[in-house]
């Protein structure tokens, strides 16, 4: 009897079992089974949210700085105006940077020896003149600034204000002045073959995404000053 009492005292208590048979319990059971999937979905959603909030703007910033790192405007680089004392008149209405004068005139002489007659159309242009060209022609042509910028630089963004740019035509085919057709002239073919010898380079070739091809527009890169001016432009765009 004493032994029995002890047995009762040390009896292992039975686990209390509740049968999950009401509707509330069924939902709980289902939730329990689905919880890993819900957790996974929440993690994916949170990760996407973090990416959008944190990485998204960073990407935009990188993109913007890539575009604006050299301060281009509508595809054109900013250029300071050359001091007046560095300008020389090479013919009526055409002034250029004094560093470029000899090379430019020599190039015209050498071309003449080959039976090619180069004509200079436009050299230095002040920022004020560029302002008139850009805004007056824009309104005449009823163009948006970006469209106009394809064929003319905004004021403060023209290579012509540096004195190192020259627009060249063919004296025997003046109808091609400032026209893409200039590329079919003997003058242009001669320039492509020989201009580099005189340190001239075509500024806006067919690869430029923002500025139209200008076969008549050449720039001088034969002095340290000119190279510094065009350093940004010579980096891959």
| Contact residues: Zn ion, CB under 5 A | 167, 217
The residue (of 116 and 153) whose beta carbon lies closer to Zn ion is: 153
* Least distance to Zn ion, CB of residue 104, Å: 14
Which C-beta is closer to Zn ion: that of 63 or that of 149? 149
Smallest gap from residue 193 Cβ to Zn ion (A): 21
CA within 13 Å, CB half, 5? 2
Query: Cβ-count burial of 72 within 10 angstroms (0-12 exposed, 13-18 middle, 19+ buried)?
Result: middle
Nearest CB to Zn ion, comparing residues 111 and 202: 202
CA separation for the pair 96, 94 (Å, rounded): 7
- Residue 105 or 121 with smaller CB distance to Zn ion: 121
The set of long-range contacts for 41-46, using a CB threshold of 8 Å and a minimum separation of 24, is none
Specify the residue for token string 């560029």.
130
Give the residue nearest to Zn ion (CB).
Answer: 217
Q: Report the nearest approach of Zn ion to the CB of residue 217 (Å).
A: 4
CB of 203 to Zn ion, least distance (A): 7
Cα–Cα distance, 199 to 110 (Å, whole number):
14
Q: Which residue lies nearer to Zn ion by CB, 198 or 216?
A: 216
Extract the runs of DSSP E, i.e. beta strands, from 92-152.
Answer: 94-97, 118-122
Shortest approach of Zn ion to residue 157 CB, angstroms? 12
Widest Cα–Cα separation across the chain: 137
């Amino acid at each position: 009897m004493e032994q029995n009492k002890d047995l009762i005292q040390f009896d292992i208590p039975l686990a209390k079992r509740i049968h999950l048979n009401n509707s509330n319990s069924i939902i709980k059971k289902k939730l329990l089974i689905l919880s890993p999937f819900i957790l996974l979905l929440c993690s994916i959603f949170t990760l996407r949210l973090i990416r959008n909030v944190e990485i998204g703007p960073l990407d935009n910033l990188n993109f913007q700085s890539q575009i604006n790192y050299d301060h281009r405007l509508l595809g054109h680089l900013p250029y300071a105006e050359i001091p007046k004392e560095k300008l020389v008149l090479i013919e009526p209405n055409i002034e250029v940077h004094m560093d470029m004068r000899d090379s430019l005139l020599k190039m015209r002489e050498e071309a003449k020896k080959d039976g090619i007659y180069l004509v200079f159309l436009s050299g230095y242009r002040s920022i004020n003149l560029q302002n008139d060209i850009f805004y007056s022609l824009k309104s005449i042509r009823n163009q948006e600034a970006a469209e106009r910028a394809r064929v003319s630089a905004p004021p403060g963004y023209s290579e012509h204000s540096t004195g190192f740019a020259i627009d060249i035509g063919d004296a025997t085919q003046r109808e091609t002045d400032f026209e893409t057709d200039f590329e079919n002239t003997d003058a242009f073919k001669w320039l492509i073959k020989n201009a580099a010898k005189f340190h001239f380079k075509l500024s806006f070739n067919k690869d430029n995404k923002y500025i139209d091809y200008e076969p008549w527009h050449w720039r001088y890169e034969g002095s340290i000053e000119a190279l510094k001016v065009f350093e940004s432009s010579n980096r891959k765009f």
